[in-house]
Amino acid sequence: MAGSGTEPITAVAPPLDGRSVASQRWSHLVFLHWRVSAEQVAPLLPTGLRPDTFDGSTWVGLIPFVLDRATVFGSPPVPYFGNFVEVNVRLYAVDEQGRRGVVFVSLEASRLAAVLAARAVFSLPYMWSRTTLARAKGEFRYGSQRHGVPGARSRIIARPSTVEVRDDPLADFLTARWALFASVRGRTIYLRNHHGPWPLFEAELLSLNDTLLARAGFAGLAARAPDSVLYSPGVTTWFGR
């Protein structure tokens, strides 16, 4: 089933090494995922990584959510710049030590200062975009339009259900990720995070108008129904050094 890492996927995060240096609240997440071939993903990964697989496939995620209550080195929550809607495209990888993590292809965010800081410090591919979330009649309506790039947009409408998802190996594979990989000055780095188990629910994708997946290298994927749709009300996350 789950395939390339040496450690089994667990829904409980291992402790951080040492004290956390920052925290964030991630709320109202919709996890949209599609099966793709490992051969399609491998060229997009940083040096030393290979696609992580489940049930013979690797996966591409399109995930909108609200990021808020951001703190740094024990500070109070950062106003304005630490509160925005984000939409990211992500992949799943494993390194030569068997450690699993997320690789971000793009991250859309509406706070320019946060975008510039993340790009400068961690070389994460944040993009300055107009991002929005509207809630109506039990639906979550996310929007993203990249500034200066009319062809980089996403419109997602989803409706969560009350059916909880538990003990689901695929859901754990797609959401229980306790690290990210990034390429910084040609070197692949591994950054840990920690949060409680995801509260997950089944959800329905009502509408998708997206070009971010195609721009990430997956032409035609948005025209196909996702293979997994999940919703989470969210978690608070801590980051290691």
Averaged pLDDT, groups of 10, the chain, 241 residues long: 57 80 90 98 97 96 91 61 89 96 97 86 90 96 97 98 96 94 91 92 98 97 98 91 71
Tokens describing residue 103: 């690789």
Name residue, tokens 């070009």: 211
Collapsed DSSP state (helix, strand, coil) of residue 173: helix
Q: What is the pLDDT of residue 75?
A: 65
Give the integer Cα–Cα distance in Å for 102 and 5.
13
**pLDDT of 117:** 83
How far is the first Cα of the chain from the last one, in angstroms, to the nearest whole number? 32
Q: Where are the domains of the chain?
A: 22-239
- CATH superfamily of the 22-239 domain: Acetoacetate decarboxylase-like (2.40.400.10)
pLDDT at 6: 45
* Spatial distance between the Cα atoms of 9 and 173, rounded to a whole number of angstroms: 6
Distance CA 139, CA 133 (A): 10
Q: How many CB atoms lie within 10 A of CB 238?
A: 17
Q: Which CA distances in Å does 44 have to 67, 105, 189? A: 26, 8, 15
